[in-house]
Structure 1
Amino acid sequence: MKATAPPAKRRRGPRLAVLALVFCSLLVPIAFLFNRFPAVYVTDERPQQEINLPSFDPIESGGSVNEDVSKKSSGSSSVLHRGIDSDLSIVSPKPKAIVFPPKIQQEVPPPKVEPKPEVKPVPVPVQVPVPVHHNKNINLDNKRPPRVQSADEVEKAKACQLEFGSYCLWSIEHKEVMIDAIVKRLKDQLFVARSYYPSIAKLKGKETLTRELKQNIQEHERVLSESIVDADLPSFIKTKIERMDQSIARAKSCIVDCNNVDRKLRQILHMTEDEAHFHMKQSAYLYNLGVHTMPKSHHCLNMRLTVEYFKSMPLDPNDSSAHKFNIPDNRHYVILSKNVLAASVVINSTVSSSEDTENVVFHVLTDAQNFYAMKHWFARNSYRESAVNVINYEQIIFENFPEFGTQQLYLPEEFRVFISSLEQPTEKSRMEYLSVFSHSHFFLAEIFKDLKKVIVLDDDVVVQRDISFLWNLDMGDKVNGAVRFCGLKLGQLRNLLGRTMYDQQSCAWMSGVNVIDLDKWRDHNVTENYLQLLRKFGNNDDEASLRASALPVSLLSFQHLLYPLDERLTLSGLGYDYGIKEEVVQSSASLHYNGNMKPWLELGIPDYRKYWKRFLTRDERFMDECNVSP
């Protein structure tokens, strides 16, 4: 008889290779999850950082014309509770607010605040009542009634939002209810059979039952691997269900140790929860990948426009309207964007909503990569009598202000904020997105030296009413006209702000629609103050830290120079909040899609995307060729 090598030794190499492949296949998705976002086509990469905050008492609006509207400025519940002042850790960004006034009256200065020790008194201007184009029959409460949740659901929602952010809101809204009763029954049978099988296998004289249970378990697993809905199940499934029921009944009639069955049930439950959490991580990664990367069709559009710019004869309308760019008396709007369609919608919506556009000029600041695509797009498309000036931000900073260091174009930074009540821990926490100026905004006064006033619009804003009244706004000695976000006060950020002097009761503010007085900016040396704060809070060697510093730097740079705009000007939260009433969206002066679910993405909230799409340019050849259909 010939001796043969043991089979195990022959298969040892392939087995090790298979085990290594399985192990690597498990590590790769986990590595992606912890690596945030891979290097892909990024359009407006905005850092995700979280701030856990206690909530506040009802906020006094300081003479706001409508308390009901001012309560919704934070995009949260109308009643805020004061919690114990606690330390805060910052990890993410961006939120919302509301403003609107067509007749501007002279602002009445309030009485000066008595100075407190170590805190500089801050005079807060009183907002003047302004007529608003709202339907009188519309309830100004912009929130749909929330669904009543149990304490367990609230805790799960908090934990989910802390770990996965806005993905939790999206997953809840798109959760599929399981209606396949037969598939559910198969899974329940499989769960019970697996829990009894180890105990039955140890009993003597139960070999036949053990084989039946094992066979039924394998058949159920095979069926469920091929069918996920009742319609896909084989015709003989009822026979398998009856056979499994009989085996389970026989297993339950046997005398077994209940502790063993209980232990096995708990083990299977924990394994199922771990598997569900792992799949949730994968889904959250794919969601974040989808909301932070440029769609393939948009990338195609940018490339086609860039190639066409160099292939065709220059179509530069700036030659005929360049004289408008530096006239201080014109109405100048500034947009920072890397997205052609987003910038186009902002301009088109603003022009379509304006009565007079003859002296309107839009300055689009973009990066070097998208400069030629932007230039060719706005050369091909006109927007009534307005002029569009496309500027390569990175080139102008590099050539004229090399000492500034931060030459890269940064879009408005978004910070995700969690606000919860420490007095009522079971109360549902609120997730808001706070948007503030990026580092690139602080060089506007240097770039536009000939201009006196500009209105800065984020590229995720849609204008639905004429906002030209903002040019007649008398802000006194203030620099930045913005909507306040009193859901966050500077006192809550003491760990972030350090020992810098600030008013602890001062509210945060929102970007989106901002009126900037460049003359007052230069008088108050805002750019120089910003550079000093940046050296204190920023880390130029680490881009994540540099971008995270935008929050304290922006808040401190304007804390005494902020003019509070009426909160009905902008309706925010359309990029993450599913609960805003449609009639409120229709009646708002401007819409701010702050949050992850931008309207140009497939993951955008469908109920709100239509208000963005109606200002999208139609009949554009390159959009059809690249299959761009937001």
Structure 2
Amino acid sequence: MKGGILPAKRRWKGLVIAVLGLVLLSLLVPLVFLLGLHNGFHSSGYTTPQHSSASDDESTHVDDLMQRLEPTFPKDFGENIVVGKAENKTAGFPLLDGLPKERLGVNSTGVGDLAKAKQSTGVGDLAKAKQSTGVGDLAKKKQSTGVGDLGKKKQSTDVGSTPGATENIRDIDEGEKLCELKFGSYCLWRRNHKEKVNDFTVRKMKDLLYVARAYYPSIAKLPALDKLSHEMKQNIQDFERVLSVTTVDKDLPPLIDQKLPKMEAVIAQAKACRVDCSNVDKKFRQLVDLTEDEATFHMRQSAFLYQLAVQTMPKSHHCLSMRLTVEYFRDPPPDIDQSLAERHLNPDLHHFVIFSSNVLASSAVINSTVTHAKESENQVFHVVTDRQNYFAMKLWFSRNKYMEATVEVLNIEDHKLENNKASTSIHLSLPEEYRVSFHKVDGPPTTEYLSVFSHSHYLLPEIFPSLKKVVVLDDDIIVQRDLSVLWGINMDGKVNGAVQCCSVRLIQLQKLFADKRLDETSCAWMSGLNVIDLVRWKEQDISGRYLKLVTEMNSEEAVALRASLLAFQGELYALDDKWVLSGLGHNYGVDIETVKNARVLHYNGNMKPWLELGIRDYTVSWRKFLNQENQFLSDCNIN
């Protein structure tokens, strides 16, 4: 009998131990939840919007797109110089066929690199941000707003305290330039399009909700405050529900004035309770981290969308090109007269060359040039475009007359070049822009937008073999004076007459050119308005020199910039700086009177005049050369 009872007792003891273990676990699990150990930041008492995971996913998606749009320079490219390629000046349909790898250049340092902006929201940086909002830092911030500092601030706003005001202005300017380094001209555009926030009730609700969320987890853990916890939870949910569908005061429900005092009273009661300060501090840190992370993400996303907008052809311009193309095949223009064909080859006339895929931009350039010309009958314009826009331009310039000037439209893909293999197709490449920024040790950084020739420009001698001298115009310029005097300039045997940008010297770009020897006194030059001696070009074999430089450069980044600056070294004739006023596509600080008195306006930068993002004070000078009564413009809502 005893032998049979012992195994049963053992089994019974095993069951007792198992039951005790389950009871112990059942007690531990609620305890863990009550203490908040499962998650030191979140509380299960109410629902809060989870931004972190969504932001991480969207941030990863944006970063992938940025990396696809922007190539990177080698890590040892430079420490105090930032070079990035701006958008192609007249992008036809860049997003349909995929953007070229070098469309958006990125900066060699972390400050100006959009693609590297992801690092600013990494785990390590978030940890640093979290530490920066600790109790010690909060105490320092509190001290920084003491009576003495307030007195200093007050003094800085007095009329007589000029030094303080000057320092504040200088700090703002430096901050804007640093912002421009990081996000390009988006920061300038954002500053000028910033709307004044007047929805104070919505902002107050967000502030109260922020504080209530910080105190709620600590209140919910105290059994004696169940009534306050329930009331606080209810108010939080009411505020979340209202703010999820409302962003302005006029859309707030009518009874919102009764909810604000209730929330304020609940928060006052919560502050009066004795709670664990560390829990409140943790919650505040979490909210600060989420807010900073979300703000950084939206800033980067806005900058990315801005860059996308300035590179994409507007829908109205796409409509114009498509309608013109359809109309061309429906009612093709008559063949060109023999007399006009002879003018195209006559070297005694004034020939202008425009590489463009933008109908309106090319039309504005030609219209502004002939309007201010003393003898428009001597002017011949050659618009070089691609197959995609050839028929639209052909129809447009056949139906629109520009005084006595002659306009020829050429398809570069159909042009037969002597040195080009029959199997190799030639594609149009447009003038390229690069944002060059310099970090100064003793002052704010400087930023310039350099526009240079593209690969297609080095085919000029082969495209126009019978011509001796041409003036190359970019399609983002407007002419306000007669250009006939350019043909009388003696260029002292130089090939390229261009306006120099001496704020950027070649020696400053030494790291771009590795072992190439540069003249320390040479300045960078700009495309836009260039007088080209084609005879001298052929003698010096500028095209061959350029192709050799391109072949030697293994990396694809900034090839056009580096090769163009080196190909014309020693062959540049500096035009008077008064010829061209640059920066109208990115610089808000140009005086209006200066714009009116300039000979040629150059809209270099992201904010082209045909875009909605263009600087309105300067786009007026561009829009007045459009034919506002044209039926195609009205149909496509361009006006």
Range into which the TM-score falls when normalised by the shorter chain: 0.7 to 0.9
Q: Quick one: which of 381, 395, 398 aligns to 1:379?
A: 398
Structure 1 residue 47 and structure 2 residue 103: aligned?
Answer: yes
User: Which residue in 1 is equivalent to 2:162?
Assistant: none
User: Which residue in 1 is equivalent to 2:195?
Assistant: 176
**Whole-angstrom CA distance in 2 between matches of 1:186 and 1:148:** 35
Long gaps (5+) in structure 2: 1-51, 71-92, 116-164
Deviation at 1:529, TM superposition (A): 0.8
Q: Which residues of 2 match residues 101-112 of structure 1 at below 5 A? A: none
SS at match of 2:269: helix
SS at match of 2:585: coil
**Whole-angstrom CA distance in 2 between matches of 1:389 and 1:581:** 36
Structure 1 residue 613 and structure 2 residue 628: aligned?
Answer: no
Higher relative CO (CA 8 A, sep ≥ 6), structure 1 or 2? 1
Q: Quick one: which of 264, 288, 292 aligns to 1:245?
A: 264
Give the residue type in structure 2 aligned to 1:437. F
SS at match of 1:195: helix
**Whole-angstrom CA distance in 2 between matches of 1:25 and 1:504:** 46
User: Which residue in 1 is equivalent to 2:609?
Assistant: 599
User: Which residue in 1 is equivalent to 2:584?
Assistant: 574
**Whole-angstrom CA distance in 2 between matches of 1:91 and 1:569:** 34
Cα distance change of structure 1 residues 476 and 495 upon mapping to structure 2, 3 Å threshold: same
User: Which residue in 2 is equivalent to 1:497?
Assistant: 513
SS at match of 1:364: strand
Cα distance change of structure 1 residues 365 and 52 upon mapping to structure 2, 3 Å threshold: same
Deviations 1:297-350 (A, max 9, x none): 211211121122222143344544111111111100000000000000000000
Q: Which residues of 2 match residues 415-426 of structure 1 at below 5 A? A: 415-424=434-443
Give the residue type in structure 2 aligned to 1:40. L
**Whole-angstrom CA distance in 2 between matches of 1:434 and 1:598:** 15
Give the residue type in structure 2 aligned to 1:361. V
SS at match of 2:587: coil
SS at match of 1:513: strand
Give the residue type in structure 2 aligned to 1:48. L
Q: TM-score, normalised by structure 2?
A: 0.75
User: Which residue in 2 is equivalent to 1:121?
Assistant: none
User: Which residue in 2 is equivalent to 1:520?
Assistant: 536
Higher mean C-alpha displacement, 158-167 vs 439-448: 158-167
Cα distance change of structure 1 residues 263 and 27 upon mapping to structure 2, 3 Å threshold: same
Q: Quick one: which of 445, 458, 474 aligns to 2:490?
A: 474
Deviations 1:433-460 (A, max 9, x none): 1101111111101211111111000000
Give the residue type in structure 2 aligned to 1:295. P
Q: Which residues of 2 match residues 128-207 of structure 1 at below 5 A? A: 149=168, 153=172, 156-207=175-226
In 2, are the aligned partners of 1:482 and 1:564 still within 8 Å (CA)?
yes
Give the residue type in structure 2 aligned to 1:310. F
**Whole-angstrom CA distance in 1 between matches of 2:471 and 2:328:** 29
In 2, are the aligned partners of 1:89 and 1:495 still within 8 Å (CA)?
no
Deviation at 1:22, TM superposition (A): 10
Higher mean C-alpha displacement, 19-28 vs 265-274: 19-28
Deviation at 1:21, TM superposition (A): 10
Deviation at 1:246, TM superposition (A): 0.4
- Supply the RMSD in Å over aligned alpha carbons: 3.0
**Whole-angstrom CA distance in 2 between matches of 1:390 and 1:215:** 70
**Whole-angstrom CA distance in 1 between matches of 2:354 and 2:604:** 15
Q: Which residues of 2 match residues 457-472 of structure 1 at below 5 A? A: 457-472=473-488
**Whole-angstrom CA distance in 2 between matches of 1:339 and 1:566:** 29
Q: Which residues of 2 match residues 341-356 of structure 1 at below 5 A? A: 341-356=360-375
SS at match of 2:240: helix
Deviation at 1:35, TM superposition (A): 3.6
Cα distance change of structure 1 residues 153 and 587 upon mapping to structure 2, 3 Å threshold: closer
Q: Which residues of 2 match residues 326-365 of structure 1 at below 5 A? A: 326-365=345-384
SS at match of 2:577: coil
Deviations 1:155-182 (A, max 9, x none): 6545533332121111111112212111
User: Which residue in 1 is equivalent to 2:69?
Assistant: 36
Q: Which residues of 2 match residues 273-352 of structure 1 at below 5 A? A: 273-317=292-336, 319-352=338-371
Deviations 1:204-242 (A, max 9, x none): 311111111111111111111222111111221111110
Deviations 1:335-388 (A, max 9, x none): 000000000000000000111111110011101111111111111111111111
Higher mean C-alpha displacement, 329-338 vs 210-219: 210-219
**Whole-angstrom CA distance in 2 between matches of 1:204 and 1:154:** 54
**Whole-angstrom CA distance in 2 between matches of 1:247 and 1:156:** 40
**Whole-angstrom CA distance in 1 between matches of 2:413 and 2:317:** 22
In 2, are the aligned partners of 1:354 and 1:467 still within 8 Å (CA)?
yes
In 2, are the aligned partners of 1:189 and 1:244 still within 8 Å (CA)?
yes
User: Which residue in 2 is equivalent to 1:256?
Assistant: 275
SS at match of 1:416: strand
Give the residue type in structure 1 aligned to 2:103. P
User: Which residue in 1 is equivalent to 2:551?
Assistant: 535
Higher mean C-alpha displacement, 240-249 vs 191-200: 191-200
In 2, are the aligned partners of 1:480 and 1:561 still within 8 Å (CA)?
yes
**Whole-angstrom CA distance in 2 between matches of 1:199 and 1:23:** 28
Q: Which is helix-richer, 1 or 2?
A: 2
Cα distance change of structure 1 residues 149 and 33 upon mapping to structure 2, 3 Å threshold: farther
